[in-house]
Structure 1
């Protein structure tokens, strides 16, 4: 069904369910009902309903009538249908109303639009972040023609500005982000971790609270206290993030050049190391889960 792009069409599922004859599989007594009268046929329809649930297809009253005429009111497919009709509206409205990153359903098929949504979602940790679209054709010595969706905030630019020029920074990736059943590969520009994060002091330890009424503490200059931003993580300092149309090294070189021209002039004096993995092909969520299960 996915090969013909009909795996989310409710009319196709109705046609599949309507193939079975009516009245023949209806259980006549409690024994047949509990021991799943005609088990292969009932399990077949349960699998069809399970696939509808996995693809987010909501059944309607017409499907209920088909199942009722085929297996009767004591059939197991009807139980599955009623469980779906109880839970699916709840989860659908829950994700629609509470998600801070709403995504169209179905999501767009254009990878450029998906990349913009993905980078905007990643950069939403800082409201000041700016998402910019670059083109590799603007750089004269780049042989590849593609687009680049880049995200960076003023805080990240300042972290890059105060970075030591003798210490390298790294371009890591690709990493995966899922937008419903669509996959987007993205890359990060990062530096080595901040040494302040390696301190063993637990600032949330309430047993070490100091009471200024009984003890005297000399005042500290506020300017001397350095706050740690959200971009300074234990595994590195995130300086920028991007997604490209080809996920190639040439497009990432163009990204670095565009960042340099766009206010990050210090990049011209900092060594940059590319630690890239092979970009994975675009697969569905189900294929990714199946591959992971086989490996385990």
Structure 2
């Protein structure tokens, strides 16, 4: 790194010492990125260079710590606890420990404690539980009764509980393979333990091959259980099914889009529930008052088939899929692949209800700005 990086005079826009500190920090990281790129070695080099050049009292270390904390995600180091320890080591030891208990109660050195708390907050946002080494670093720099230590204690207590609260934990580092990632997400969303995951790629489906040589081949990962196949087999041909999406699903830090094949829920008065609508209405408006029951609980006389877990209040879920490119052409290919095990789909009308989730959010925000109901 050029030795004169920290000797450059900041531009006139830096009217305060704090602004100059941030500009100097940006210059250090810019010089490192030109030499090493956004790598772990480059980040470590920037910290070591600052330690050598800032002197005993670490002038401008608060601004540099703020900049380094924000740069962790740019360098893809936001889930590496060693990098947080290196940033925390920039606080000089024994400098911020209040001499009396009274000074501890009055939030001693607030700007410095805020910077340290921000480091811990970044760790919490990225799911990292601080260890005993970080505790010793806090004790040597801010004392046992500082707000930084209280933040550390809250994190250790609650995060250790929440980390083991889920009986089906998500892998901390999701797989890099998109197909394996899609299979894991569909398994997690499927309630039925008999759900089967099918994968179609360009090797066995001609329509999934990329049109251009530089593009990546498409794929389809579908989830369907035998019970859902039975629901499709008994679905009336005069009622449509819907392909809805895009919906978002998160597996750790990885976000994927999925689509759902569903149909409308059966009406309560339909023949599906054992009573025809006309018969039920005629029975209700009967003039035979002796059969009316005003004071006792009514007994169920109709034989109602038990609902499956796929029949929800807003519709019956028939299948789910995650595709490489969530276009309508790929979804049509998905339906064609489903027809091999669901031949009744050929006789049922399919309605595509595709919409971006971001578009729905933007519409709601614009509606509120125009004076609509909030």
Normalised by the size of structure 1, how large is the TM-score?
A: 0.80
Higher relative CO (Cα under 8 Å, sequence separation at least 6) belongs to: 1
Determine helix, strand or coil for the equivalent of 1:195. coil
* The one of 226, 230, 233 aligned to 1:158: 230
Determine helix, strand or coil for the equivalent of 2:322. strand
CA spacing shift, 1:59–1:140, aligned 2, 3 Å: closer
* The one of 168, 172, 191 aligned to 1:105: 172
The answer to whether the 8 Å contact 2:244/2:354 transfers is yes
Match of 2:189 in 1: 122
The answer to whether the 8 Å contact 1:137/1:146 transfers is no
Matching of residues 1-296 of structure 1 within 5 Å: 1-95=72-166, 99=167, 101-123=168-190, 125-135=191-201, 138-140=204-206, 144=210, 145-196=217-268, 208=297, 225-261=304-340, 263-278=341-356
Match of 1:203 in 2: none
Deviation at 1:135, TM superposition (A): 2.2
Determine helix, strand or coil for the equivalent of 2:74. coil
Deviation at 1:74, TM superposition (A): 2.6
Task: Find the aligned partners of 1:113 and 1:77 in 2 and give their Cα distance.
Answer: 40
Task: Find the aligned partners of 1:110 and 1:187 in 2 and give their Cα distance.
Answer: 20
Q: Which segment is superposed worse, 107-116 or 155-164? A: 107-116
Determine helix, strand or coil for the equivalent of 1:41. helix
CA spacing shift, 1:279–1:80, aligned 2, 3 Å: closer
CA spacing shift, 1:85–1:251, aligned 2, 3 Å: same
Task: Find the aligned partners of 1:33 and 1:239 in 2 and give their Cα distance.
Answer: 61
Determine helix, strand or coil for the equivalent of 1:253. helix
CA spacing shift, 1:234–1:91, aligned 2, 3 Å: closer
Deviation at 1:173, TM superposition (A): 0.6
Structure 1, unpaired ranges of 5+: 200-206, 211-216, 281-290
Deviation at 1:225, TM superposition (A): 4.3
The answer to whether the 8 Å contact 1:142/1:250 transfers is no
Root-mean-square deviation (Å): 2.7
Determine helix, strand or coil for the equivalent of 1:131. strand
Larger radius of gyration: 2
The answer to whether the 8 Å contact 2:209/2:218 transfers is no
The answer to whether the 8 Å contact 2:265/2:316 transfers is yes
Task: Find the aligned partners of 2:245 and 2:115 in 1 and give their Cα distance.
Answer: 42
CA spacing shift, 1:37–1:138, aligned 2, 3 Å: same
Determine helix, strand or coil for the equivalent of 1:273. strand
Match of 1:288 in 2: none
The answer to whether the 8 Å contact 1:27/1:75 transfers is no
Deviation at 1:197, TM superposition (A): 7.9
Match of 1:286 in 2: none
Task: Find the aligned partners of 1:2 and 1:93 in 2 and give their Cα distance.
Answer: 25
The answer to whether the 8 Å contact 2:201/2:208 transfers is no
Task: Find the aligned partners of 1:92 and 1:276 in 2 and give their Cα distance.
Answer: 36
Structure 2, unpaired ranges of 5+: 1-71, 211-216, 274-295, 359-364
**How many residues matched?**
261
CA spacing shift, 1:197–1:6, aligned 2, 3 Å: farther
